[in-house]
Amino acid sequence: KEGEEVSAKYWNSKGEEVETRDEALEKPSTDPSADTAEILNGLLAQVKEDSSARNLPTTEEEANILLGAGISLKSMKKEQREAIYQRLLIAEGSGVNLDKLIAGYAGNEDNQMTPDIRIKFFQVIQGRKSPDALPFLIKHARNSSRPDTASAALKAVRKLANDSNVSDLLSIIQFNESSTVRQEAKLVIMEISERSTSRDELASSIKSAYDNATNDNSKVTFLELLGSTGGDTAAGIVMEALKSEAKKTRIAALAALGNWADDSQFGALLDHMADEEDDTLRNQAFRAALRFLREDRERDALALEGMWQDLAQAAVTESEKKQVRAVANEPRAGAMISAVMRTKS
């Protein structure tokens, strides 16, 4: 009424009380990046506020925001990008399998990103240690045109892969043109062999690949891998390969003996070393034997002592003796080797 003061209250479209009519009439932002940035900042704050945080609930939308920000080439401080990777590392899926989501995203070359960022994502997957990521990583390793990202994918699967992945890994060794990628695939198979309870079946698969190899590079790699499975089948092939006129084949056979799954072929390795007239191959045999004994594996103490003594006795050249003396400083082998070396002197 005339002469009376009038007061008014205003609310905007979000239901928030504001001070003026103009504020109430403002249209909400239609820029989706504003909401995305707010969600991203909230996710990264969780890592910043608690460095010990683990298993943080994460929806599919939130994961996609983190992945999208992770590949962004916009100016971003190093600590911000690292925070994104850390947040993905400790994320726990809320209504979504994050391991499949992250691995599928990172492994898909249609998702454009720099190689170093893709490798970072693979390292995140490696840290999450979920076998759900395996198919995506191996598919990337098989199909990628970039050896650096293919190798990173294989590094990520090394502790996760199992017997069922061997066929794909053998295929990578057979057909991939990069020696680095082939080497990584070989290392994965060696780790699988170490964990496997079906080494005879693995040996059969590797023998088949060896018999059907279409090039020398893959053939010698398959020959080396037979050592990781051990067994009679592998032993027969390796012993035959030691008679080959091709130096490359004999070197691979010696590497197989140096990686043998058990101690059964150590004597054969020393026998071949003693008979080998080629200095390079003898050196290869000696180094393989030395590496074999230094591997950290369960062995009977007396058997190990005997093998060290046999190797020390077999050391003939000054270089071999020098290598044995170097090992004599190690607690496990030192006493027994020193005694043998004193006797020889």
As given in the structure block, the two tokens for residue 173 are 């060794």
| pLDDT tens track for 270-297 | 999 999 999 999 999 999 999 999 888 8
- DSSP assignment of 248-302, as one string? HHHHHHHHHHHT-SSSTTHHHHHHHHHH---HHHHHHHHHHHHHHHHS-----HH
Count of Cβ atoms closer than 10 Å to residue 228 Cβ: 24
As given in the structure block, the two tokens for residue 213 are 């190899």
C-alpha 133 chain-centroid distance: 13
According to the model, what pLDDT value does residue 89 have?
Answer: 98
Separation CA 79–CA 77 (nearest Å): 5
CB 33 within 8 A of CB 70: no
According to the model, what pLDDT value does residue 5 have?
Answer: 67
According to the model, what pLDDT value does residue 265 have?
Answer: 96
Phi/psi at 74 (5° precision) = -65, 155
According to the model, what pLDDT value does residue 17 have?
Answer: 78
According to the model, what pLDDT value does residue 151 have?
Answer: 98
According to the model, what pLDDT value does residue 324 have?
Answer: 85
> What are the C-alpha distances in Å from 21 to residues 1, 9, 18?
21, 8, 8
As given in the structure block, the two tokens for residue 338 are 């020193």
- DSSP state, 120? H
Which residues of the chain fall below pLDDT 70?
1-6, 12-15, 24, 26-34, 75, 328-345
* CB contact burial 91-106 (16+ within 10 A = b; e otherwise): bebeebebbebbbbbb
According to the model, what pLDDT value does residue 30 have?
Answer: 44
List residues bridging with 91 in a β-sheet.
56
According to the model, what pLDDT value does residue 193 have?
Answer: 97
According to the model, what pLDDT value does residue 202 have?
Answer: 97
- DSSP state, 297? -
C-alpha 304 chain-centroid distance: 30
